[in-house]
Structure 1
C-alpha cells in the first residue's frame, strides 16, 4: 500500500517505521532534515512538505501537534489532499477536540476522501514496535481502507462508532487522566524528597504497592535518571489539558483536577521547561521549595 506519514516526531517516526517493516511503500514527511535523514536511512521515502507526497498515495497518517497543523497539512496551500488517490483514507491521529475532528471529516468528504478520527496512545517505544493503541471512529468504509495501516501500527484498535469526533472525545478524556497522573506523580515524588525520603526507595515502594500508576512508574523513572529528553514534552500537556478544559466548558462540566494540572504544566513552561520531558513538571516544586532532584 502506498502510505504517507506526515509528522516524523516520536510517534510519527515509530508509525512510519512500523509501516515500512510491514512491507508498505512509505513516504515520511517532515520539515526537519534530521527526521527525514533518519527515515531515509531506514529505507523509507521522504518529503519535506505534504505537497511532495507521491501522487496516488492511498492512505495518509497525520501525526502532527494539533488540529490547525492537521488542517494545514491536509487541506492548506500545498497540502496532501491533491496527492491522494480517489477514495484514499486519511488517518487523523493528532490530539484535538471533537469539533475540530468533525470539521476535518467534512472537508475530507467534500473531496471524496475517507476520514478516520484516530488518535493514538502508547508513547515512542510502542510506536516503534507497532504496538500503539488507536481510539478510532469513522465509517465502515474508512475502517476498511485503513485496516492495513492500523494493523501495522497498533495492537489494539478501538472501533468507537461511525461518527467522527468520538475518537477525539475519548482521547481528550484519556489525556485528562494522563496529565493529572503525571502531575500528581511529580507532586508525590517532590514531597517525598522534601521530607527526606530516599527517591529510589520511594519509587520502589510505590511501584510495588497500590498507589502506583503507569505514569508514576514511567515518568518518575526518568526523573530518577535525570533524563529530561522529551518523549512527550511539558508543552504537549499544556495543550492537551487545554483541550480538556475547552471541551468541559462547552458542556458546562467542571474539571477542577484537570484545570489545576494544566496550571502546573503552564508553570513548568513559564520557568523554561516547556521542551523537557513532561515528568519534569516536578521542577515547579523544585523552584518553589528548593528540593534537589536525583543526579543534581
Structure 2
C-alpha cells in the first residue's frame, strides 16, 4: 500500500463527512488456512474459473495496519469451514484474533454437524458479534436439521450472519434464494446479511429483503468492473437499492480482491445514488446493526 492509496480511500469517506468506514466482509483466518485459500485463487479454481490476483497478499499485521491506514474503523474476520470438525477450531482462533485486534468485530462460524449448537452458544458466550456461513464452499443445505438450533440461537440473540447464499460465481446445490428463504420462514427474526448482494440473483435477493425486515445485503465485489463483466447488476434494479438504503452494508472481500480497495468504493459512488445513500452504506447501517457509535 502506498501513501497515495491510503489518501485516496480516506478522501472518499472524508468528503462524505464520515469519521471512517465499517467493512462487514473482510477475511482474516489462520495462516495455513489462508494460504490454501490464496493457492485456490492462484490456480483459478473451479469456483472462480478466471485469474484472480490477490492484491493484499501480506502478513497479518500488515493487512490489519492497511485497514487502519484506510480509515476502516471496524471490520470482520470472515472464516468458514468446508468440512466437519473445523468450525470450533476456527472459532477459537477467531476469538484470539479479535481479542488482540482492536476494531475487529469478533467473528465465528459453524457447519452442520453434531454439537454445532453447543459451540455456537459457546462462541456467543465469548462475545461473538457476527457469524459467517458459506453455503457454496461448505456445500451444505442451510435447512439441515443439524443447524436448526444454530439458526434459532442466532435469531434469538440478534446476531448477524453474513451468508454466501447467492449462486455466484457458479451455482451450488444449496445456493439461491430458495434454501436460505426456507430458513427465514422458520426463523423470521434472523439478521441475515446476504453476501455479494446475492449475485447473480440480485432481484430475487432484493425481493427476499423486501419480505423480511431483518435481511440485509452486503456490497462485496458487486458493481465493480471485475464483477460486472460476468454478473452485471441490472440497471433497472437501481431504484430498489434506494428503497433498501437502510439495509445495504459495505463489504469488500479484503484482502482477497483482484483490484485496489478504493475500486470498490468508487464503484458504489458510480451508481449515482447520492451522498446520503453512500453514508448509510459505508458506515451508518453497519453502525446501527452492530451497536457502534453513530457518525
TM value normalised by structure 1: 0.31
Which has the bigger relative contact order, CA under 8 A and spacing at least 6? 2
More helix by share: 1
More strand by share: 1
Bigger-Rg structure (1/2): 1
